[in-house]
Amino acid sequence: MSSKRIDFSFRTLIYHVIPYWICTLLFFFTTTAVIYFYLRQQEQVKVQQQLHSFQAVYNRQGPSALQLSFLSPSTVSGSFLRLESPTLRLVLISNNRPDPTVPLPDFSSFSVADNLLWHSLQSGTHWGGWSVAATQLQDGTTLQVGINSNASWNLCKNLIALLTLATLFFLLLCFIPARIAWKRAEKTSRQLAGKIERLDPGKTDPMQSASSMNGGEQLLVQAVNKLLFRHRQLTRELQESMDNVAHDLRTPITRLRAIAEYSLHKEDDPEHLREALADCLEESDSLLSMLNTMLNVAEAEADTVNLKLVPLDLATTVENVLDLYSILAEEKNITIHFRPQPDIIVLADQQRINQVWANLVDNAIKYNATEIEIITRKENNSAQITIRDNGMGISENELPRIWDRLYRGDRSRSKPGLGLGLTLVRATVQNHNGTITASSDLNQGTVFTITLPLAPQ
């Protein structure tokens, strides 16, 4: 097994073990926090109870009774009491200490007004086995009580230490379920890979999911089936596109070859040679136009077109295109009705947006329309352009595919064209942050609706 394979397997195993590690560490930190704060709370309650008890004695009977109360058996063993005012300073320390290893407090290391939990009460150290509470009495005297909390402090440390060891053990133990899950996932991946390798490219049958697969694995099979379907669909569309390109390129290339071959036999006829060269230039221009259109479509669909967006009057852009087609429409007895709403300003690239109107009007003229109606209006804070014709229309089956590159319907193949016009139109409209939709009835005509954002005021 190669080092790359081992490295990949190890990293995959780590990816599977990480969720178990996260759960274990969350449990560790949560439990540690609960133990720590619970024991601290218990010590705080204990020292506060002792403080309130001594405070009540002092308020009722004074300092003398406080000394007797501190020496009583009810006082928590291993504690101290400190009473301080401008005229009085009293420190009492219990002789009955539960843990003689805990040093006596260094009263110079902390203030009489301090409230501390699990503190060492020694200079230079912080954590330790003392808990302290202080309050100011009615006469201004400060009362401070401390109790020996070494038992709870050691208990907290021991519990956290045990929990740490248990967590480390479980972190190592997590490799077992992680490895089982990894092996199962690897087995499923190998099965899927084997099924994919055995698929027949010529068939369209989807992969079948096994009953033993869980929900995630079945979803993976469904995703692979969708990918395979999309791959086959793209392959089919590419084949159809290549057929269309080959068909459209064959005619001008064949004509170029025929003109060149025929001209070779007329070397002594300059006039014929000039005509042949003119025909060659015409066919070359046709090929160049086709290739330029393909490049424009590719740029527009990839959204890499450098648009020169400027505020434009929508009606003016449409009128400029209609002026170009007015003579052609008149020759074919086509009536064009233009009904603009005034003062609609859009942010657009003039050359690109003119291409959109030109393609749509050209299609209407090309496909046997006798009337073309163009309406512009404002709709929901945007500009809407509707281009309606009464031409041959588009069948219901072909309508969803009219935007596909190089797609031409069965009834449109008799007309000149590349099958790129509507693809370029939609891509250009989308580059302008607009939308375009089409509706059509066969032999009744087609309606294109374009929506463009208005220019900011």
Is residue 436 within 8 Å of residue 450, measured between CB atoms?
Answer: yes
Mean pLDDT score of the chain: 80
Is residue 183 within 8 Å of residue 117, measured between CB atoms?
Answer: no
Q: How confident is the model at residue 213 (pLDDT cuts 50, 70, 90)?
A: low
Report whether CATH 1.10.287.130 matches the domain 204-304: yes
- What is the pLDDT, as a whole number, of residue 34? 93
Q: Is 207 helix (H, G, I), strand (E, B) or coil?
A: coil
Residues 398-428: pLDDT tens digits? Answer: 888 887 766 665 555 555 556 677 888 888 8
Residues 6+ positions from 386 with CB-CB distance below 8 Å: 373, 374, 375, 376, 447, 448, 449, 450
Q: Where in the chain is the domain with CATH 1.10.287.130?
A: 204-304
Residues 52-94: pLDDT tens digits? Answer: 988 998 888 888 888 888 877 666 667 889 989 888 888 888 7
Residues 16-56: pLDDT tens digits? Answer: 678 888 888 899 999 999 999 999 899 899 989 989 988 99
pTM over 0.75? The answer is no
Q: Where in the chain is the domain with CATH 3.30.565.10?
A: 310-453
Q: How confident is the model at residue 5 (pLDDT cuts 50, 70, 90)?
A: very low
Q: Which two tokens stand for residue 337?
A: 């009705």
- What is the pLDDT, as a whole number, of residue 448? 93
Q: Which two tokens stand for residue 1?
A: 């097994």
Which residue has 């590690």 as its token pair?
21
Q: How confident is the model at residue 298 (pLDDT cuts 50, 70, 90)?
A: low
Is residue 40 within 8 Å of residue 59, measured between CB atoms?
Answer: no
**17: alpha, beta or left? (left if phi > 0; alpha if psi -120 to 50):** alpha
DSSP string of 215-281?
HHHHHHHHHHHHHHHHHHHHHHHHHHHHHHHHHHHHHHHHHHHHHHHHHHTTTT-HHHHHHHHHHHH
Is residue 388 within 8 Å of residue 447, measured between CB atoms?
Answer: yes
Q: Which two tokens stand for residue 314?
A: 């929508």
The average pLDDT across 134-153 equals 88
- What is the pLDDT, as a whole number, of residue 1? 45
The CATH number of the structural domain formed by 310-453 is: 3.30.565.10
Is residue 431 within 8 Å of residue 369, measured between CB atoms?
Answer: no
Most confident of 105-114, 186-195, 198-207: 105-114
Rounded to whole angstroms, how far apart are CA atoms 229 and 236?
11
The CATH number of the structural domain formed by 3-172 is: 3.30.450
Rounded to whole angstroms, how far apart are CA atoms 369 and 446?
10
Quote the strand ranges of 289-403, DSSP E: 310-313, 335-339, 345-348, 371-378, 382-389
| β partners of residue 377 | 384
